[in-house]
């Protein structure tokens, strides 16, 4: 199991602190999702992890030691705005990019053919990449990062623009790598996807980490709400001290309770007025947590 870690990573562009003291770890065997709005610093962080962008300060560590060029050569990387050589066959460029990373030609060729076969592109291996559909081009790009049993994967928006089936295929591939104990860090805008896939989640806002943990851990930290279902109209709950009504719809209300005392007061008042069908805590969704931590 390897760990890819950043410690106090900072990058300034003029007066702008694009990445501001970011620390987190992507652990081996896990998919770590990297979430944040545009301009939050995700791409800059990933570029610094890969050594493509110089950091202003801070460290990138691989298994506890500062990451070297030789380490990075064994990482699979997929940059954000990407492309391939449009006029070169998919097979040739997969082999070329792998050979640059020191993988022997024959090994690279065999592995590339295997990948293309799995993607259903075996018969298009010799076609120029520009003749493939955009989705297939993107699969080839992800494949380029996966060649040669990488020791870590850093993928910037790998799934954007892929249809759900393609996403599942790619996730299966990534799972194959986490099963080997490899840390996989990927950024995404698609929260539902991240929630479904990731064992761990890092949320960035304005260049800082605002949340870091497993989805369950993050849900603990989010504001717990309660749902109250009554026999009759629930409009009166707005008047109860210590109770904040997020939403009232007929007999159902979504509430934030200030403390235990407020809960007791609410329940007593409800029982006095008639039937109480339900009063239960509601686990916040990741989307809700995301909005809370990034707002």
Partner 1 sequence: MTTSTQQPTRLAADSSPGRQDEGTRGAWRLVMQREIVTRAMNRAFVVGLVVSLVVIVALAAFFAWQANRVDTTTVAVSSDDTAAVAAVTSADELAADEGGNDEIDVLEVADADAARRALAAGDADAWLHPGDDGWVLAGQGEPGGSVERFVATAVEQQVVAANAEAAGTSVTELSAGAELTTEALEPDAVGEQALFFATLALSFLFFAGAITSGNMIASSVVEEKQSRLVEIIATAIPLRQLLAGKILGSSVIAVGQNLLFAGIGLVAVSASPVSMALPALSTSLIWFVVFFTVGFLALAALYAVAGALASRAEDLQYTATPMTFLVMGVYFVTFSASGAFLTVLSYVPIASVVAMPARVLARDAAWWEPVVSLVLLAGFAAAALLVSERAFRGSLLQTGGRVSWRQALRPQN
User: What is the contact surface with partner 1 in residues (CB under 8 A)?
Assistant: 13-14, 16, 18, 38-44, 47, 50-56, 68-70, 72-73, 75, 77-85, 87-88, 96-97, 99-102, 144-145
User: Closest CB to partner 1 among 97 and 289?
Assistant: 97
Longest distance between any two alpha carbons in the chain, whole Å: 79
Q: What is the 3-state secondary structure (H, E, C) of 44-64?
A: HHHHHHCCCCCCCEEEEEECC
Residue 275: CB minimum distance to partner 1, A: 52
Question: Is the CB of 70 or the CB of 179 nearer to partner 1?
Answer: 70
Q: Smaller CB distance to partner 1: residue 32 or 45? A: 45
Of 45 and 178, nearer to partner 1 (C-beta) is 45
* Least spacing, CB of residue 121 vs partner 1, in Å: 19
Alpha helices in the chain (DSSP H): 42-49, 69-73, 90-100, 105-118, 134-146, 164-178, 191-197, 215-221, 260-273, 286-294
The three-state secondary structure class of 291 is helix
Residue 101 backbone dihedrals phi, psi, to 5 degrees: -85, 10
Asked if 84 contacts 140 with a C-beta cutoff of 8 angstroms, the reply is yes
Least Cβ distance, residue 197 to partner 1 (angstroms): 21
Bridge pairing between strands 276-282 and 243-249: unpaired
Task: Considering the complex, state which of residue 43 and residue 188 has its C-beta at the smaller distance from partner 1.
Answer: 43
- Closest residue by Cα to residue 202 from 19, 23, 33, 22: 33
Nearer to partner 1, 37 or 219 (CB): 37
Q: Which of 223, 182, 216 is nearest to 201 (CA)?
A: 216
* Shortest CB 134 distance to partner 1, Å: 13
According to DSSP, the residues that pair with 205 across neighbouring strands are 208
DSSP strand pairing (225-230 vs 252-257) = antiparallel
């Amino acid at each position: 199991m390897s760990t890819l870690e950043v410690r106090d990573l900072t990058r300034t562009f003029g007066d702008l602190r694009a990445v501001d003291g970011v620390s987190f770890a992507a652990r081996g065997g896990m998919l770590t999702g990297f979430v944040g709005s545009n301009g939050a610093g995700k791409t800059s962080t990933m570029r610094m992890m890969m050594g493509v962008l110089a950091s202003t300060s801070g460290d990138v560590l691989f298994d506890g030691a500062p990451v070297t060029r030789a380490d990075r050569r064994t990482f699979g990387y997929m940059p954000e705005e990407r492309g391939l050589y449009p006029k070169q066959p998919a097979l040739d460029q997969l082999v070329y990019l792998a050979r640059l990373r020191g993988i022997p030609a024959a090994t690279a060729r065999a592995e590339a053919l295997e990948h293309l076969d799995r993607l259903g592109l075996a018969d298009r291996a010799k076609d120029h990449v520009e003749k493939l559909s955009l989705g297939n081009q993107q699969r080839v790009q992800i494949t380029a990062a996966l060649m040669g049993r990488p020791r870590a994967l850093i993928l910037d928006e790998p799934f954007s623009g892929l249809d759900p089936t393609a996403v599942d295929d790619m996730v299966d591939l990534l799972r194959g790598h986490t099963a080997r104990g490899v840390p996989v860090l990927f950024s995404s805008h698609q929260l539902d996807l991240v929630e479904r896939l990731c064992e761990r989640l890092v949320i960035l806002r304005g260049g800082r980490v605002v949340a870091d943990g497993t989805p369950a851990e993050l849900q603990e930290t989010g504001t717990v709400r309660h749902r109250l279902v009554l026999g009759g109209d629930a409009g009166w709950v707005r008047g109860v001290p210590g109770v904040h009504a997020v939403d009232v719809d007929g007999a159902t209300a979504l509430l934030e309770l200030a403390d235990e005392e407020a809960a007791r007061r609410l329940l007593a008042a409800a029982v006095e007025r008639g039937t109480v069908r339900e009063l239960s805590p509601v686990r916040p969704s990741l989307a809700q947590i995301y909005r809370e931590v990034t707002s």
